[in-house]
Structure 1
Amino acid sequence: MLKDQLKNLWKDLFNDEWSYIDWYFENIYQENTTKTYLEDNYLKGMLFENKYHLSIGDERFLGRYLVGVGVAPERRGEGIMKNLLLKSLKKAKEFGEEFVYLTPIDKEIYEPFGFGYISKLSKYEVDFSALQEFKRKFKVEKIESTNYKEELLIKLKEFYRENSKEYFVKVAREKEDYKKILSEIFCEDGLVYISYDLFEKINGYIFLTKSKNICVKEFLFNDKDTLESLLSVLYGYKNYYEKLEFIFPENTYLEDYFKSEKNVKKIIKNKVQARILDVEKVLKRISGNLRENEEIIIHVQDNYFPENNGSFKLSFKNVERTLEEFHISLKIKELTILSYGFRDFNSLKKLESFYVKNKDKEEILSKIFQKKVNYFNQDF
């Protein structure tokens, strides 16, 4: 049976617990969104496409997140992964999707295919002693798999919508998304704590799992008092676990909330890579950052989709192909990194990874390619 082969290869390659693997195949897996490579009915490679609603500014579209990309160890180096990946990219392009995205083990695996980073996360390791200064200011409720109602999912969706407004590119979560997230947390024997303000509106939450340490897989909050309330709850675990680990959006500066940073360690981790499929759609959005009297010509190089190659003239809210001399030439990977604000123009310029032919246009390039904050937490 194909599903059994997929589960066994997943276990062999990624070594997740069977409880999680079973959960994934019961709740997420769909045969029609799975790419496989078979020989004599034996599975040699696989790629899963999970569909999510994505937001870029005020725009919203359906995109696919690639997971479980793997090849049987004895067949690596034969181009099986490339075959599966290109099939997925071509299908997404046929559906008019702007980009696909994934979480790489190492960036060098997918960069040759045009993937570039678009988001990062902050990871903290904190001693329990650092939490003793925090006091609970709001009501905090523990949620379990058997005690929550549909109404909670709606409240979580509404909280996330308000809390995530500051992010340029993000997953747009709906009620069903939170249902899956809670299901996944509970399948890992995790815990959910939710903070409510004085009007019974959600103002923050934590999703955590437990092993040697407490790992907070997501922590979102509206204000300092909410943060303190939730941290005070975590302090109650001080006698049972060694340390706390937190995952936050990159623009959450947890260290600022502590009197001392002595027991707080922070790592900024590049997290999600994307691959642009529709260059004109991306450039049209960028053109909205130009003034009415400005224009710039961008030359794009794409090794896998010839229709994305060429020079494009951008003016205010307009893009057209041109044979005129370009001002900047860059590969699809660099266009991805710049377009979604993972790097600004001036910082990426230092890498010399693209060619600016007309230095007079650097002021415009600095304006249209600015740093932005995106949020993808695909640990779920």
Structure 2
Amino acid sequence: MIEYSKGSMADLKELKTLWIASFNDTLKGFKTFMKNNKNKMRIYVAKDGNRTVAMLYHIPCKFLEYKAHYLYGAATESKYRNRGIMKNLIDFSLEDAKTLGEEFSFLYPADDHLYGYYYSLGYERNCFRKQATVSRDKLMHIAEYSPFCMSLSVTGMGKLRENYLKGNSLQFSQDYIKYSVANVKNYGGYVICSGDGYCFVDEDEYKKCVVSELFAKEDDIFPLLGEMLKESDADTFVFNYSPTLNIFDNEEIVPDGMVKFLGNTKVNEAYIGLRNL
């Protein structure tokens, strides 16, 4: 019989095994997640006897003036899939979230085909980001260059997002922002900072640079692009950023993530952000 409950650090060994097997990740990746999130996140598990067969995590955050969470790391052991276990575990976790006064549950499906699955659980595609593909030549014409490049701390990133990331944007804790920065670096990416601005960058072998999140105060956007040109020799740049920013003339709004309303408060659009695409 499958039982559903809150997990704890006592489940660490089985959580590690399930994480690495499900996400094809490394031990370093799992340790980075646990180290940076263990103090505030909530763990939920499904067990068959003493065996942990499914897991997920809630990362507490704020959305507007409301409590919310970001649902992360959902996984089921392969031989236990297609039995409704994850659906039941999500339902169990959301009932607990409601008792804590949380109004929203946000997530990014791991693959595009999972949007339909989460829709069947009550999640809606009300989350968006802006995206623009820009050539190096075009970027060189609009970028600005500053002789000074200040490194923005994790605390600085958090305060920047809190004070200037307007609209319906999810606000993460310092712990989760620290994890996001470490996660980018763990998988070969890097972080560029300039003034009050930052971006998460990944490059591939085809000289394409993908910026999974860019955020800056208005006056610091174009100096940040200048720093990017110094760091990267890519020919093509794909930028992803908050819909509240207006940067490129060819930018478009695209769906990005999902939200489930746990109470009576509903929104038509939201921005999650801080992801490594």
State the TM-score bracket (shorter-chain normalisation). 0.7 to 0.9
TM-score (norm 2): 0.80
* 2:165/2:244 contact within 8 Å kept: no
Deviation digits for residues 5-56 of structure 1 (CA, Å, limit 9, x no counterpart):
322322322224443222112222469821112224322211111112x132
Over the matched positions of the two proteins, sequence identity in percent amounts to 21
Structure 1 counterpart of 2:248: 255
SS class of match (1:132): helix
Q: How does 1:189-204 map to 2 (within 5 A)?
A: 189-196=188-195, 202=196, 204=197
Structure 2 counterpart of 1:276: 261
Partner amino acid, structure 2, of 1:44? V
**In the TM superposition, what is the alpha-carbon distance from 1:255 to its structure 2 partner?**
3.1
2:263 matches 1:379: no
Deviation digits for residues 270-329 of structure 1 (CA, Å, limit 9, x no counterpart):
2232222222xx2xxxxxxxxxxxxxxxxxxxxxxxxxxxxxxxxxxxxxxxxxxxxxxx
Cα root mean square deviation, aligned: 2.9
Distance in 1 (CA, whole Å) between partners of 2:192 and 2:210 is 13
Larger radius of gyration: 1
**In the TM superposition, what is the alpha-carbon distance from 1:89 to its structure 2 partner?**
1.1
Distance in 1 (CA, whole Å) between partners of 2:87 and 2:254 is 26
Provide closer, same or farther for how the CA distance between residues 80 and 154 of structure 1 changes in structure 2, counting only shifts above 3 A: closer
Structure 2 counterpart of 1:10: 19
Partner amino acid, structure 2, of 1:205? Y
Structure 1 counterpart of 2:142: 134
Structure 2 counterpart of 1:107: 115
Q: How does 1:35-74 map to 2 (within 5 A)?
A: 35-52=44-61, 54-56=62-64, 59=65, 61-74=66-79
Provide closer, same or farther for how the CA distance between residues 72 and 234 of structure 1 changes in structure 2, counting only shifts above 3 A: same
Structure 1 counterpart of 2:7: none
Partner amino acid, structure 2, of 1:243? T
* 2:190/2:201 contact within 8 Å kept: yes
Aligned pairs, number: 262
Distance in 1 (CA, whole Å) between partners of 2:51 and 2:86 is 16
Provide closer, same or farther for how the CA distance between residues 62 and 140 of structure 1 changes in structure 2, counting only shifts above 3 A: farther
* 1:139/1:195 contact within 8 Å kept: no
Ranges in structure 2 where 5+ consecutive residues have no aligned partner = 1-9
From 83, 89, 95, give the equivalent of 1:90: 95
Structure 2 counterpart of 1:234: 228
**In the TM superposition, what is the alpha-carbon distance from 1:117 to its structure 2 partner?**
2.3
**In the TM superposition, what is the alpha-carbon distance from 1:221 to its structure 2 partner?**
2.5
Provide closer, same or farther for how the CA distance between residues 91 and 174 of structure 1 changes in structure 2, counting only shifts above 3 A: closer
Deviation digits for residues 89-143 of structure 1 (CA, Å, limit 9, x no counterpart):
1111122221222112332112222211231112333332332223435455263
SS class of match (1:250): coil
2:199 matches 1:206: yes
Deviation digits for residues 187-241 of structure 1 (CA, Å, limit 9, x no counterpart):
4454333323xxxxx2x22232344343322211233x533222222223454x4
* 1:128/1:238 contact within 8 Å kept: no
Structure 2 counterpart of 1:290: none
Ranges in structure 1 where 5+ consecutive residues have no aligned partner = 197-201, 283-338, 343-373
2:225 matches 1:220: no
Distance in 2 (CA, whole Å) between partners of 1:267 and 1:16 is 32
Distance in 1 (CA, whole Å) between partners of 2:232 and 2:262 is 48
Structure 1 counterpart of 2:124: 116
Distance in 1 (CA, whole Å) between partners of 2:81 and 2:52 is 13
- Of residues 110-119 and 132-141 in structure 1, the stretch that sits farther from structure 2 once superposed is 132-141
Provide closer, same or farther for how the CA distance between residues 246 and 71 of structure 1 changes in structure 2, counting only shifts above 3 A: same
Distance in 2 (CA, whole Å) between partners of 1:214 and 1:173 is 25
* 1:100/1:274 contact within 8 Å kept: yes
Partner amino acid, structure 2, of 1:164? L
**In the TM superposition, what is the alpha-carbon distance from 1:376 to its structure 2 partner?**
1.1
Distance in 2 (CA, whole Å) between partners of 1:10 and 1:267 is 34
Distance in 2 (CA, whole Å) between partners of 1:193 and 1:32 is 27
Deviation digits for residues 174-197 of structure 1 (CA, Å, limit 9, x no counterpart):
55554444343444454333323x
Partner amino acid, structure 2, of 1:248? Y
Provide closer, same or farther for how the CA distance between residues 77 and 116 of structure 1 changes in structure 2, counting only shifts above 3 A: same
Q: Name which structure has the greater RCO, CA cutoff 8 Å, separation 6+.
A: 2
